Amino acid sequence: MKEMMLMYARDCKRANEAVLGLLDKLPLEARNEDRKSYYKSLSGLMGHVCGGTPYFHGMFRKAFPKAAAALKATEGLKVPEGEKLTAAQWDELKKACIKGDQTTIDFIAALDEADLSAPIPLDWYGGKPAAVPLYFLLSQAFTHGIHHRGQISQILDAMGVEHDFSGMDVAFLK
């Protein structure tokens, strides 16, 4: 399971880099325009994709002291979020997303296979369940990113921006 989680983490990093690279080519106004999605703009969607990473890393830091060193890079990391980002905030978002994705890879690499089944306490859902296995949270995080990158893909389609996010990308395997 560890190899599979590493594969998904590497794929997520590669996909986020591709989306950030494409969005970076758009004018700031186009990234910040309300696109009628829940998070409004492309900036808002990408901020949401990357924004949860430091939160989850904080949960993992508490549950896995032996792997805390691998999570050090995102300690105190702030990801700019909002439907309208300045150029400086956009640059911060890109750096934070890339740092968060690499830190997830480093964290998973520092774990033993058995660690992936360890319970992670939750502070939501009214305590039901009180905890879920780490592999579940990681899977949910990867799926979450896929979902929102799909939304970005649809918006770019509607804008007439050429991209190939639906193609099979195996560059992360190198």
Q: Which pLDDT band, with edges at 50, 70 and 90, does 105 fall under? A: very high
Tracing tokens 């300690």 back to the chain, one arrives at: 75
pTM: 0.92
- Rounded distance, CA 67 to CA 74, Å? 13
How many domains are there within the chain? 1
Q: Residue 155: CB partners within 8 Å, gap ≥ 6?
A: 35, 37, 42, 45
Q: Which of 20, 14, 172, 18 is nearest to 92 (CA)?
A: 20
Q: If DSSP codes are grouped into helix, strand and coil, which group holds residue 133?
A: strand
Q: What is the mean pLDDT of the chain?
A: 92
pLDDT in tens, 62-93: 888 888 899 999 999 999 989 999 999 999 99
- Which range marks the domain in which residue 48 is found? 2-173
**pLDDT grade, residue 173 (50/70/90)?**
low
**Tell me, what CATH number does 26's domain have?**
1.20.120.450
| pLDDT score recorded for residue 124 | 82
The answer on pLDDT for 9 being more than 90 is: yes
pLDDT of residue 113: 95
- pLDDT > 80? residue 145: yes
What φ, ψ does residue 131 adopt, rounded to 5°? -155, 155
Which one, of 27, 19, 78, lies nearest residue 45 by Cα? Answer: 19
pLDDT for residue 54 is more than 70: yes
Cβ atoms of residues 122 and 131 within 8 Å: yes
User: So what's the pLDDT on residue 169?
Assistant: 66
